[in-house]
Structure 1
Amino acid sequence: MQKGLLAAGLALAAGPLAAQDKPELVVYTYESFVAEWGPGPAIAANFEAICDCTLRFVGAGDGAALLSRLRLEGEHTEADIVLGLDTNLTAEAAATGLFAPHGRELPELDLPVAWDDPYFLPYDWSYFAFVYDRERMPEPPSSFEALIASDADIVILDPRSSTPGLGLVMWVEAAYGERAPAIWAGLADHIVTVAPGWSEGYGLFLNGEVDMALAYTTSPAYHAVADGDPAKAAAIFSEGHYMQVEVAGVTASSDQPELARAFLDFMLTDGFQGVIPTTNWMYPARLPEAGLPEGFADLPRPEKALLFSPEEAQALRDPAVGAWLEALSR
């Protein structure tokens, strides 16, 4: 959408309240998004510069916790937008009836998959991967089976509270199918801990307490750009890597539905997409005019991308998490 048209739409969305108190748009998202080093502050400033409104982010744990909170609050939620679910949760989220169709005409997206979801729009994506330190591990495992055969220890995230944790469960399920329980049984002895969320888990790796941590193929860009540390890398597995596509949607009970949809339009412009690579350290859903920043050009891309449809993910989630839990409980 052209900047002028977006600004005009935002002015209409603000309506007569613009002359009085500025309307407030409330966005539920995950904690790292709203951190001072995350994308939230810059995105809020960029949107408020054109919307004549106040944008308030509310951190609600990790991505999977967002849906749980919304279910608890139901139609009485103060959220106008939920930002931070992914395609493993969108079918389940839509089935709650708590989201409204976005009704947007999409610009061309830079995703490896086609997009036609009537409720949710993507804002970034990457591949799940295990990140390691080249200096500590010169020869990383090249598959889950190689990881099982190695002496490496790892940290993973709880799929019941963490979207990356659920992504790992889906990764194993997509790669191995009926053999997934056996893979989890083999991985169990390598798992030092199951962290509840991203910060806790990745922090163990950064502190040198584990050899590898569940993260993304784009995570090493952070270390190269922000830390000046080229030693961190993502291990590329021969069976392929599961994708994560993160999305946002408007709540059905929003008292600012037009402003919320104007935010979705803004979300796919440079004012949002240009912030994502060096704050959320993911690929933007729509490539900014300036392209990708330094540190992203040499990132490895898996030869095989794995992704269940939202409906497949919804059907597989409970049995896959059950198999994970049983294997780790032995």
Structure 2
Amino acid sequence: MKYLTFATATLAATAAFAETPELTVYTYDSFVSDWGPGPAIEKAFEETCGCDLKLVGNGDGAALLARLKLEGARTDADVVMGLDTSLVAAAKETGLFAETAVSADYTLPVEWTDSVFAPYDWGYFAFVHNKTLTAPANFKDLGASDLKIVIQDPRSSTPGLGLLMWVKAAYGDEAPAVWEAMADNVVTVTKGWSEAYGLFLEGEADMVLSYTTSPAYHLIAEEDHSKTAAAFDEGHYMQVEVVGALAGSDQPELAADFVNFMVSDAAQAILPTTNWMYPSVTPAAGLPAGFETLMVPEKALLTPIEEVGALREEALAEWLTALSQ
């Protein structure tokens, strides 16, 4: 009898586990790291969904789209999180994403009306450096200096792609000359953000391409006031990170629930001090203390989504030419 009771309980537990739905979310590596938002997001969502949330890191943001294109309709992903405004148009062209009804009171600095992707955080690209450094005032000053910088590859990294769009938005037809002048400043080009920032912290470069919000990590998490972001007078390019559900998901309702969860107060309150970006919906408790000390650009730059595709290819060609000389 004891054996039968144990066997019955075991079978019941196995059946219950088998019935637990699994939701697979492709995102970038830093999101799923121990210090990133992944663990807290996973815990908070699983408390409400009765599911098993599987967050899968795939390098940096631009690498997400490359993997998705490779896998196509065969992908295991139900949701993709970590594309941005520079990749939205290309992502839609795959035909792999579904429209998702989202209810959110966005506090973005730009209007958001897209029905496929929901913005979950945003920020401004910037070069982060130690406060002891006399920073350049713009890209031309940077190119004329002896400063060493670390940047990310635009073919795999959304910050790297954002830098191309930043230079292009600021200088237009002058962009090739600006890149030619800056080529000598580039110490190395990394595949993703984490590698680049790590090299900067190890002293391998004077400045690293990151975000105006990056110094908040050092200030809040480490009580380190030594880092800041250089203010460029030609303006700073915005990044809006988005989450979207796959049309081929076998868990469509759960996928839609996750997209909506990412713009809920529960998720938005987690992001500022784990992903170190501005939330797309200001949390009820407001932004954490320390965010008010961050540099705020006087001018924001952002290429319209429908114009990104053509400019991206042109900017990439200019970048490759400059760095190969």
TM normalised by structure 1 equals 0.92
Measured after TM superposition, the shift of residue 315 of structure 1 is: 1.6
1:126 alignment partner in structure 2 = 123
2:213 corresponds, among 207, 218, 224, to 218
| Aligned partner letter, 1:71 | K
Q: Which one of the candidate residues 29, 47, 51 is aligned to 1:31? A: 29
Could you tell me how far apart the structure 1 residues matched to 2:258 and 2:150 are? 36
**Could you tell me which residue of structure 2 aligns to residue 285 of structure 1?**
280
CA–CA distance in structure 1, aligned partners of residues 16 and 315 of structure 2? 49
User: Which residue in 1 is equivalent to 2:63?
Assistant: 65
Task: Could you list the structure 1 runs, at least 4 aligned residues long, displaced by more than 4 angstroms after superposition.
Answer: 17-20
CA contact (8 A) 2:116 2:244 kept: yes
Larger CA deviation: 310-319 vs 180-189: 310-319
Whole-Å Cα distance in 2 between the matches of residues 23 and 249 of structure 1? Answer: 19
2:280 aligned with 1:274, yes or no?
A: no
Letter of the 1:128 counterpart: F
Is it true that 1:153 corresponds to 2:148 in the alignment? yes
Aligned counterpart in structure 2 of residue 41 of structure 1, from 2, 20, 39: 39
Q: Is the 2:144–2:182 contact (alpha carbons within 8 Å) kept by the matching residues of 1?
A: no
After superposition, the C-alpha distances for 1:293-318 in whole angstroms (9 at most, x for unaligned) are 12211111101000011111112111
Provide closer, same or farther for how the CA distance between residues 18 and 92 of structure 1 changes in structure 2, counting only shifts above 3 A.
farther
Give yes or no for contact 1:241–1:306 (8 Å, CA) kept in 2.
yes
Residue number in structure 2 paired with 1:111: 108
Moved more, 259-268 or 179-188: 259-268
Give the distance between the partners of 1:142 and 1:157, measured in 2 at CA.
21
Distance 2:205 2:18 in 1: 55
Inter-partner Cα distance in structure 2 for 1:315 and 1:118: 23
Aligned to 1:177: 172
Give 1:149 shift: 2.0
1: CA distance, partners of 2:84 / 2:311:
15
In the alignment, residue 62 of structure 2 is paired with which amino acid?
A: A
Look up the SS of the partner of 1:297 in the other structure. helix
- Deviation of residue 21 (structure 1)? 1.4
TM-score of the pair, normalised by structure 2:
0.94
Instruction: Tell me the equivalent position of 1:300.
Output: 295
Secondary structure, aligned partner of 1:28: strand
Matches within 5 A, 1:234-273: 234-273=229-268
Provide the rounded CA distance (Å) in 2 between the counterparts of 1:107 and 1:82: 19
Identical pairs, percent: 60
Question: Does the Cα contact within 8 Å between 1:18 and 1:53 map onto a contact in 2?
Answer: no
Does the C-alpha gap of structure 1 residues 19 and 35 become closer, same or farther in structure 2, counting only changes over 3 Å?
A: closer
How far off its partner does 1:18 sit? Answer: 8.0
Shift of the alpha carbon at 1:19?
A: 9.5
**8 A contact 2:143–2:182 mirrored in 1:** yes
**One-letter code of the match for 1:289?**
A
The structure with the largest alpha-carbon Rg is 2
Distance in 1 of aligned mates of 2:79 and 2:200: 33
Give 1:103 shift: 2.5
Q: Tell me, yes or no, if the aligned pair for 1:65 and 1:162 is still in contact at 8 Å.
A: yes
**Paired residue type of 2:177:** A
CA distance in 1, matches of 2:187, 2:69: 32
Structure 1 residues 318 and 250: alpha-carbon distance in aligned structure 2, compared to 1, 3 A threshold: same
| Count of equivalent residues | 311
Letter of the structure 1 residue corresponding to residue 26 of structure 2: Y
The AA in structure 1 aligned to 2:129 is Y
Q: Is the 8 A contact 2:60 2:156 kept in 1?
A: yes
**Separation in 2, partners of 1:196, 1:245:** 20
**Structure-2 separation of matches of 1:18 and 1:235:** 54
For 1:266 and 1:283, the matched residues in 2 are separated by 17
Residue of 41, 51, 72 corresponding to 1:74: 72
Gaps of 5+ in 1: 1-16
